[in-house]
Chains A and B, each alone.
Chain A
Amino acid sequence: MTVTEEKTSKTSAFDVYALRKEFPILSETVYGKPLVYLDNAATTQKPQAVIDTLVRYYTTINANIHRGVHRLSVLATREHENARKTVQKFINAKGSEEIVFVRGCTEAINLVADSWGRQNIHAGDEILITHMEHHSNIVPWQLLCERTGASIKVVPVSDSGELIFEEYEKLLSPKTKIVGITHLSSALGTINPIEKYIKLAHDAGAKVLIDGAQSVPHIKVDVQALDCDFFAFSGHKVYGPTGIGVLYGKREILEAMPPYQGGGDMISSVTFEKTLYNALPYKFEAGTPHIEGAIGLGSAIDWLESVGIDAVAAHEHDLLEYATSKLLEIDGLKIYGEAKEKGAIISFTLEGIHPHDIGTILDQDGVAIRTGHHCVQPLMDRYCIPATARASLACYNTHEEIDALAKSILKVIEVFS
């Protein structure tokens, strides 16, 4: 057993201790112990800047958007549309009309499956997804298949947690109409080389949807360079509020798609005989949207960019390497997901101890992790495990918190010895 030298995050250039002060929740205690929040793949905590934005919205400019001539409505509309532009620049979309606000990544995928799928998927067609998809990138496609008679094909995953490209090549065919693939696996941490998957899909005539829920907080995304047709992510995993998410789609594809939901805001004129739909992106945004959510997301992106996503990624990578070597010192601990390119997610099991019991005991030490199947049951079945414990890191985590995690895992083993 090699012993990793204990490290503090002070050694890195990135000042994580100053950054932590921007997150009020990180000074909370749990059962009298400092909170060690390692469940960031589920949701991230929010910086004061985002919290202030939400408070400012409700205390100074709250009004419905796109319909009032009064001052507050104009201000609220402007901030809402500025947030859209912030998102556009963040992922480098060509135009802000390609940014559709939705409830989250899940709704974004459902929108594509429902609207694009209704028009483009027919009996006999194939939808290609991967074995490491979240349920949200499986079930909407299954519902579409049930409606249309299309079928789902699945790209397999290797033992180390990487997609098998050769198998992908074999599965792509003229029948493949769309490929749904995660950018960064929520359960394994694998970063998929999506560029080459997108290119090959296009060569085969298929569209590509990227599930970016886990990648956006950690990797600089450029949808034009990627050339993906759709890109989906959630606001709350990138330091923004819950209930807001983004669907990016190439303009010509979105324009050809039928509306997703009907209602106010998505129309340009309504008579009982015929309704004309509004322009992009409003065609897909029926009803009063999550106005403060969109504005809060814009503020979260501004905040993240002010810190610098490259600095965040470097810090997280440093933490991941430290955590991996520290945890592997523990007897009986096995890590699932050993891809060469990995985000800061560590899924693990302890021999003879169920992840739920690990989670409860860690919680008593104030260490918050996720336990269970992480909404990737097919992937758990692939590795013949019912569940894992998962520590997922964010920009504000420290080496000391990794030490706290390791120490608490040793306590789990002690309780069960």
Chain B
Amino acid sequence: MSELRELYQEVILDHNKRPRNFKALASANHIADGHNPLCGDTIKVYVDVEEGIIKDISFQGSGCAISKASASLMTTVLKGKTLSEAEEAFNLFHELVTAPPDEELDAEHLGKLAVFSGVREFPARVKCASLAWHTVHAAINSKDAPVSTE
């Protein structure tokens, strides 16, 4: 059970059960759709950017516990951040889920995101965890086409 508990940490299970900012956002000026064709996960991310700062952010969609919790936690991390801080968080998350399993991670630097460090042990699930981040990245950079993990 220990590897499973690494992946399905309490925080992740909690965000899956009670996702934060799980709604449409009327004030959003950046919206993007994300889709993982392999498993059918879909997500819509709404971002309200004002003067270079993410004033509000939300998401809707359906997916597994990992993808839902990742989206939920992402919204709590990004709210109030500048766009360059958001970009930094995006890169940090990407490194976190793709780092070799034996690499030491700086938990302090990762903050709340550290709960996803177990994902790298499960290569089949990395895309689930990354979908929301790729989608918000596309929303902020206003790419029109839906984001796909493929």
Could you list which residues of chain A lie within 8 angstroms of chain B, going by C-beta atoms?
A: 353-357, 360-361, 364, 371-373, 377, 380, 386-387, 411, 415-416
Contact = CB atoms under 8 A, between A and B. Distances in A.
A360 B13 contact: no
B125 interface: yes
A357 B40 contact: no
A372 B122 contact: no
B125 A360 contact: yes
18 contacts: A353-B65, A354-B63, A356-B64, A356-B125, A357-B65, A357-B66, A360-B125, A361-B4, A361-B8, A364-B4, A372-B39, A380-B40, A386-B39, A386-B40, A386-B41, A386-B63, A415-B4, A416-B65
Contacts of B124: 360
Interface of B: 1, 3-4, 7-8, 13, 38-42, 62-66, 68, 122, 124-125, 128
Contact of B3 (A353, A364, A377): A364
B40 A387 contact: yes
B42 A386 contact: yes
B63 A372 contact: no
A356 B128 contact: yes
B42 A415 contact: no
Nearest to A414: B1
Contacts of B68: 354
Contact of B39 (A387, A411, A416): A387
A371 B64 CA distance: 11
Contact of A373 (B3, B39, B66): B39
A353 B38 CA distance: 18
A416 B1 CA distance: 13
A415 B8 CA distance: 8
B60 to A, nearest CB: 13
B3 A356 contact: no
B65 A354 contact: yes
B1 to A, nearest CB: 8
Contacts of A355: 39, 64
Leading 3 A-B pairs by shortest Cβ distance:
A354-B64, A356-B64, A386-B40
B7 A360 contact: yes
Max chain A C-beta neighbours (<10 A), residue from B42, B63, B64, B125 = B64
Nearest to A377: B40
Main secondary structure of the interface of A (DSSP, over half): helix
A318 to B, nearest CB: 32
A391 to B, nearest CB: 17
B93 to A, nearest CB: 19
Contacts of B8: 357, 361, 415-416
A372 B62 CA distance: 13
Contacts of B122: 360
A353 B62 CA distance: 11
Contacts of B42: 386
A357 B128 CA distance: 10
B65 A371 contact: no
Contacts of B39: 355-356, 371-373, 386-387
A259 to B, nearest CB: 32
B13 A356 contact: no
Contacts of A361: 4, 8
Given A356-B64, A356-B128, A373 B4 contact: no
Given A356-B125, A356-B128, A364-B4, A372 B38 contact: yes
A222 B89 CA distance: 60
A373 B65 contact: no
Given A356-B128, A360-B125, A386 B62 contact: yes
A372 B39 CA distance: 4
A416 B64 CA distance: 12
A389 B66 CA distance: 16
Given A354-B63, A360-B124, A372 B40 contact: yes
Max chain A C-beta neighbours (<10 A), residue from B4, B122, B125 = B4
A386 B39 CA distance: 8
Given A354-B65, A361-B4, A373-B39, 20 more contacts: A354-B64, A354-B68, A355-B39, A355-B64, A356-B63, A356-B125, A357-B64, A360-B4, A360-B122, A364-B4, A380-B40, A386-B40, A386-B63, A387-B39, A411-B1, A415-B1, A415-B13, A416-B8, A416-B13, A416-B65
B9 to A, nearest CB: 11
Nearest to B61: A386
A336 to B, nearest CB: 14
A357 B16 CA distance: 11
Contacts of A357: 8, 64-66
A353 B41 CA distance: 13
A402 B74 CA distance: 39
Contacts of B66: 356-357
Contacts of B3: 364
